Every structure is written in structure tokens, then in C-alpha cells.
């Protein structure tokens, strides 16, 4: 693999140095409910190729690849754990995972009680499960996988966070906030117990720039940008004729006339490209042009994806002129299937 100049940023007040391009691992597990067509052998090779390219931030989750018929199996975490053990690269990696809500509701609905989402015995179980699956003694960053800011009113989760950090099982805690709700965490951040926020941020969804990014800058919160390519919409590889494999959740995400509208918007974005530049390159560099962002976590289930995404860090930030033009391409919507 070609060696790129991977750059690193500080993950907020954790002080951890993470590569600008992190590795999202949802797709690696060939999740039977969402992603079809992953090759586990290639997925394993992708982990090694990513580290070889200079990457050091791997983000996974208890739920990735989960099948309730085999509740003790956590495929994505287990694949990452296998790589860490066999490669001997644990000390090189900043390792992040997530605790799912017990009620398995994504996003956390308004008004839900924390007793339904994150009762103490459940979160303790999930932390222990993840330690076993990942084959590690300590997790660098543990994140609640959904959130409602009203949870701040209860003390159970606060006690759990402080207790678990003291135990040495987890170094830092974060929240992976609800889809398209970038401000649904501010009261919780005011407690000082949460060090990082994982949030949707991309060229189409620019709302986080209004409140979350300024807050994070002022309070030294680590920001992890997920869905940077809009589930592939900003890869530049889809058009109105794209057909997804049976079982691929994107067949619903881009259903109806959405692909037609997407194609129009991608055609407009292409007018901003420099010679040889891809839409994906533009989209990823857009996010990294914000100093407040610590890392982006595109999924990489193909070796080609590792090479394409890793080189973005080498290319640097976009010009102010391009950034101003990209403001015009905001397309606020939530396409996630609810059924």
C-alpha cells in the first residue's frame, strides 16, 4: 500500500492523539440486518492495512453484527479483538466501542426513561462483554450508543461512569448521539463527565456547526464525525439507476425519488472538484477542514476504501473559497428507515 502522511489530532480533553481518519467497523461484521456482502477475510486485512497506513483510531460497537439468536457473539468487536491480539498492535491503537440501549431503540425516543435505555446492570454487562470480545483489559473510549439530554437528571449513569473509570476498565466516556440531533447532549456535557461526542456530520448535514462545534471548541470536547459520506451518497458512486443488494438497508435509505435527487446534488458538487479529485475526497476534507473535529470514521470494508480514505489526511484542508461554496449544499433530512 502507498504510504500517506497521516496527520493526528488531540481527542479533546482526553489528551489522546488520534489519526484524523479513523476506522468505522460497522460494515466489517457483515451485519445480517443492515450490511450484506462483506468478506470477513478482507475485513481483517483492512484492519492491518489501516494501521499500516498510519491509522490508530478504531471505532466499533457491541451491537455491530449482533444477532439475537447468538446473543454472546459480537462480530465486529471480536474481529477487532482478533486483529489486536494476533498483530500485537494493541498499544498503537486508540480503541473505542459503544454500549447499546437495553431496549434496542435507535434513536432514543423523546421521553424514554434511562431505566429503559441504560439501567446500571445492563451497562455493566455490556462493558464486560466488550472487554471479552475485544480481548483487552482496558477500553480507551466507551460510548453510550444513543442519548437523550433528559438523562442528565438522573444520577445512576454518573455513578457508573465514575466507578468504571476508577476500576480501570474504561479510560474515558463519550456519547454517540441520536441521528441528526447535534444539540441533544449539551446539558449532559455540562456535567463534565463526558469527554467526547460522536455525531453525524457531512456536506449535506451541516447543522452541527451551529451549536455543537462552538461548544466543543470552548469546552475541549473531542468530536468524532460519523456517516461522513452519507451512507455512500457522498461517495459519488451512486446515481438514479443504482440498485442495492437484497438486505442492504440503503435500499430503504435511498428509496423512492431520493436517488434521483441525490444524483442532481452530486452533479452540482462535481462542479467544485479539482482535476483528479473525487466527490468522496471533497466530502471528507470538508469535515477535516474544521479544527474542532478530532477524527472522521468512514467505514472501510474493502482494501481500496482504506487507501482512498487514508490519503485524505495527506491532502490537507480545503480552501476558504471552497468551504464557502459548500455551505450552499446543505440538504437537511433524515433518511433512516423507521420500520
What percent of the chain shows pLDDT beyond 70?
95
Q: What average pLDDT score do residues 186-211 get?
A: 98
Most confident stretch, 126-130, 254-258, 313-317 = 126-130
Would you say domain 8-329 falls under CATH 3.20.20.100? Answer: yes
By the 10 Å C-beta count (0-12 exposed, 13-18 middle, 19+ buried), 332 is classed as exposed
What separation, in Å, do the N-terminal and C-terminal C-alpha atoms of the chain show?
41
Q: Cα separation of 71 and 135, whole Å?
A: 17
pLDDT band at 104 (very low <50, low <70, confident <90, very high): very high
Rounded distance between C-alpha atoms, residue 334 and residue 130, angstroms: 30
- Split at pLDDT 50, 70, 90, the class of 107 is very high
245: confidence class by pLDDT, cuts 50, 70, 90: confident
Q: Is the pLDDT higher at 193 or at 33?
A: 193
Q: Around Cβ 295, how many Cβ atoms within 10 Å?
A: 29
> pLDDT-derived band of residue 35, with 50, 70 and 90 as boundaries?
very low
How far apart are the C-alpha atoms of 93 and 60, rounded to whole Å? 13
Q: Taking 60 as the threshold, does the pLDDT of residue 54 lie above it?
A: yes
In whole angstroms, give the CA distance from residue 285 to residue 232. Answer: 15
Query: In the predicted model, is pLDDT for residue 30 greater than 80?
Result: no
Residue pair 230/179 in contact (Cβ under 8 Å)? The answer is no
Buried/exposed code over 108-144 (b: 16+ C-beta within 10 A; e: otherwise): beeebebeebbbeebbeebbebbbebbbbeebbbbbb
- Give residue-wise pLDDT tens across range 130-156: 999 999 999 999 999 999 999 999 999
Residue 306 C-alpha from the chain's centroid:
15
Q: Give the mean pLDDT of the chain.
A: 93
Note the pLDDT of residue 29: 67
Give yes or no for residue 297 having a pLDDT over 90.
yes
Question: In sequence order, what are the beta bridge partners of 17?
Answer: 10
Find how far residue 98's CA is from the centre of its chain: 10
Cα 94 to chain centroid, rounded: 14
The pLDDT of residue 34 is 47
pLDDT higher than 60, residue 50: yes
Q: Residue 1's pLDDT band (boundaries 50, 70, 90)?
A: low
Q: Is the pLDDT of residue 31 over 90?
A: no
**With bands split at pLDDT 50, 70 and 90, how would you rate the model's confidence at 37?**
low
Helix (H) or strand (E) holding 10: strand 8-10
Q: Bridge-partner residues for 8, per DSSP?
A: 19
Amino acid at each position: 500500500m502507498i504510504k500517506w502522511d497521516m496527520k493526528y489530532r488531540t481527542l479533546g480533553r482526553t489528551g489522546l492523539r488520534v489519526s484524523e481518519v479513523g476506522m468505522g467497523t460497522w460494515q466489517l461484521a457483515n451485519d445480517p440486518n443492515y450490511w450484506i456482502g462483506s468478506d470477513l477475510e478482507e475485513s481483517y486485512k483492512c484492519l492491518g492495512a489501516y494501521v499500516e497506513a498510519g491509522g490508530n483510531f478504531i471505532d466499533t460497537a457491541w451491537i455491530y453484527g449482533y444477532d439475537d439468536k447468538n446473543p454472546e457473539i459480537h462480530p465486529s468487536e471480536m474481529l477487532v479483538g482478533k486483529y489486536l491480539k494476533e498483530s500485537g498492535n494493541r498499544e498503537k491503537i486508540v480503541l473505542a466501542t459503544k454500549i447499546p440501549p437495553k431496549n434496542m431503540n435507535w434513536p432514543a425516543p423523546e421521553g424514554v426513561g434511562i431505566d429503559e435505555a441504560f439501567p446500571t446492570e445492563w451497562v455493566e454487562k455490556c462493558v464486560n462483554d466488550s472487554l471479552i470480545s475485544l480481548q483487552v483489559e482496558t477500553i480507551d473510549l466507551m460510548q453510550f450508543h444513543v442519548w437523550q439530554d433528559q438523562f442528565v437528571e438522573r444520577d445512576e449513569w454518573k455513578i457508573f461512569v465514575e466507578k468504571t473509570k476508577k476500576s480501570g476498565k474504561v479510560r474515558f466516556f463519550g456519547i454517540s448521539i441520536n441521528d441528526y440531533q447535534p444539540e441533544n447532549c449539551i446539558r449532559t456535557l455540562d456535567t463534565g463527565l463526558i469527554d467526547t461526542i460522536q455525531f453525524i456530520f457531512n456536506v449535506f448535514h451541516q447543522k452541527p456547526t451551529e451549536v455543537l462545534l462552538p461548544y466543543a471548541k470552548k469546552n475541549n470536547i473531542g468530536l468524532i464525525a460519523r456517516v461522513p459520506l452519507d451512507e455512500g451518497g457522498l461517495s459519488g458512486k451512486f446515481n438514479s439507476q443504482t440498485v442495492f443488494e437484497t438486505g442492504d438497508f440503503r435500499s430503504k435509505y435511498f428509496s423512492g425519488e431520493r436517488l434521483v435527487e441525490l444524483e442532481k446534488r452530486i452533479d452540482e458538487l462535481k462542479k467544485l472538484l479539482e482535476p483528479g479529485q473525487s466527490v468522496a475526497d471533497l466530502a471528507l476534507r470538508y469535515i477535516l477542514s474544521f479544527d474542532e473535529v478530532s477524527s472522521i470514521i468512514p467505514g472501510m470494508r474493502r482494501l481500496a476504501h482504506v487507501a482512498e480514505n487514508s490519503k485524505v489526511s495527506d491532502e490537507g484542508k480545503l480552501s476558504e473559497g471552497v468551504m464557502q461554496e459548500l455551505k450552499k449544499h446543505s440538504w437537511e433530512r433524515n433518511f433512516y428507515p423507521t420500520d
